[in-house]
A and B are shown apart, each in its own frame.
Chain A
């Protein structure tokens, strides 16, 4: 029985209240979401120097030509792909392993759960500062420990050599965002019916077989969602790289976000930066479409 029992007049008044409630969101969404995105798209077709905004001119597709002819753009795209795929692969493997570990019925497991999820809320600036200190080639604790353990003889230039810098930014990203995978997988693990395992145990399936035959198929859906979401976000990350290496040494850890930032801030070419943003949005919508195609969700919307 719902409000439909009331008179037509009352329903009209009621709908007005509903619209009144949604108005602040509509206004805020227009100002803070729709307008900036629309303006970013507009800027992509303009030559805009933030120091001389009055000289802004329409240049058509020139900005796109600039980025597509810029080797650094392609380099940034490649590096973003490497950075994203390595990060996501490691996050998924470690995240699932941690979730399985934290799912064990052990005394005190909630303490471990809390501690292992903690990195997610640590500000990126904080972990970037700490890693700069720990990875310092001359006085950092990491090189000192590795030398002490006999793993390396020479100091490793974690943040000053291109490959190591890439590795360091991946480590930062994996450290910070693996908890995201862990929480999602853990929540799903807790809903797998135990009877499934009992039957397999009776059949004599080992732990590994049970994982592959029962757990993994149950996790497939949540893992797909997590991987798509994390891929989209990781690909567009700015701070996780910028704060640790500033995109360097040289341009060896540039991704598209840093490329866009440098074009807008260092080169004062906001149009070129915005055009890069449009390319990023295009890639992002492609990713989101995959998500929506995979899960045609919410067909069962509230009436």
Chain B
């Protein structure tokens, strides 16, 4: 390795480390705060590596124990409603999985149909979906709320599940359409010449080759529904039916904002997405490649 090359590499690694630190700092800081005992959370100088570590904040969130803070000689509840955290978490999981399942099943069938059959109107479906996924949620949310009111579904997890389908369905459709177009048709044709029926071909040949696209669409769908705040804010009004995103906002209602507890919930809220990200990074990039990312 030449001297110049060595200098170049050192500079590149230094810049990379610096940028990575800056980008990751908010999450590191949240993790650090969440692991500090209450007395250290606001102490100065702020330390990235806690002097003492405790899982107290996490324990309180999971067991739903109310935490008390000392203010002016008296103990006051630091945050409202930590006892709902586990139900919020479960709600988020249920509605994310539910809306993703619905969107994926519907758009997989439709993507197969419009790329393999000839009938009137099939060509407009991808463009229609593209327009659909450009429509911002703020426009959909109130009409959807009126629909849910008509169906008496407001304040239920169903309303959220269906609400998220209105966001995730168009881009699952767009992504899977792009993906299905790219799957060579020859294999299916030879199987059909050998006498296999459509359904048989679909299940045995098409689904396995479409799997990477389906996984990518599912990941994006999960990310979008897990992240949503607006639909839940408008649709749900009883505290125990909230998903995490709106639920944790109730932690601001106490007399004192308990930043330790707040950061612990931020970490727990990121965790499922982080695991998904690590397991599925390859597919995530494939999805970006198909150009079907909502963001």
Residues of A within 8 A of B (CB): 1-3, 5, 14-15, 17-19, 21-22, 24-26, 28-29, 31-33, 35-37, 39-40, 43, 50, 53, 98, 101, 104, 106, 112, 114-127, 129-131, 133-134, 139, 141, 144, 148, 175, 177, 180, 183-184, 187, 225, 229-230, 232-233, 236-239, 242-243, 257, 260-261, 264-265, 270, 273-274, 277, 280-281, 284-285, 287-288, 298, 301-303
- Which chain B residues lie closer than 8 Å to A25 at the CB level? 106-107, 109-110, 125, 169, 173
Output the nearest chain A residue to B21 by Cβ-Cβ distance. A115
Interface of B is mostly: helix
Among B115, B166, B199, B248, find the residue whose CB has the most chain A CB atoms closer than 10 A. B166
Residues in A whose Cβ lies below 8 Å from that of B26:
127, 130-131, 134, 175
Q: Which of B49-57, B60-68, B69-77, B128-136 contacts A (4 or more CB under 8 A)?
A: B128-136
Is residue B295 contacting chain A, with contact meaning CB distance below 8 A?
Answer: yes
Most chain A CB within a 10 A radius of its CB, from B42, B140, B262, B294: B140
Would A183 and B288 count as touching, CB distance under 8 A? yes
B255 at interface, CB cutoff 8 A:
no
- Chain B min CB distance to A50 (Å): 8
Partner of A32, one of B20, B130, B162, B270: B162
Contact B30 A302 (CB under 8 A): no
Q: B109 contacts A125, CB within 8 Å?
A: no
CA distance A123 to B263 in the complex (A): 13
In the complex where A32-B165, A284-B135, A301-B123 touch, is A187 in contact with B285 (Cβ < 8 A)? Answer: yes
- Cα distance A242–B232 when bound, in Å? 14
B132: chain A residues at CB < 8 Å are: 29, 33
On chain B, the number of residues with a Cβ less than 8 Å from chain A's Cβ atoms is 99
Shortest B99–chain A CB gap in Å is 10
Contacts of B3 in A (CB 8 A): none
Sort A-B residue pairs by CB-CB distance and give the 9 closest, nearest first. A18-B117, A25-B110, A236-B136, A21-B113, A39-B143, A32-B166, A36-B143, A277-B139, A22-B113
Chain B residues lying within 8 Å of A281, measured Cβ to Cβ, are 135, 139
Contact B270 A123 (CB under 8 A): yes
Residue of A21, A106, A127 touching B13 (CB-CB under 8 A): A106
Min CB–CB distance B248 → chain A (angstroms):
7
Which of B117, B128, B149, B166 has most chain A Cβ within 10 Å? B117
Does B82 sit at the interface, judged by CB under 8 A?
A: no
Within 8 A of A (CB), among B115-148: 115-119, 122-123, 125-126, 128-132, 134-140, 142-147
Given A22-B125, A43-B142, A265-B234, residue A118 in contact with residue B15 (CB < 8 A): no
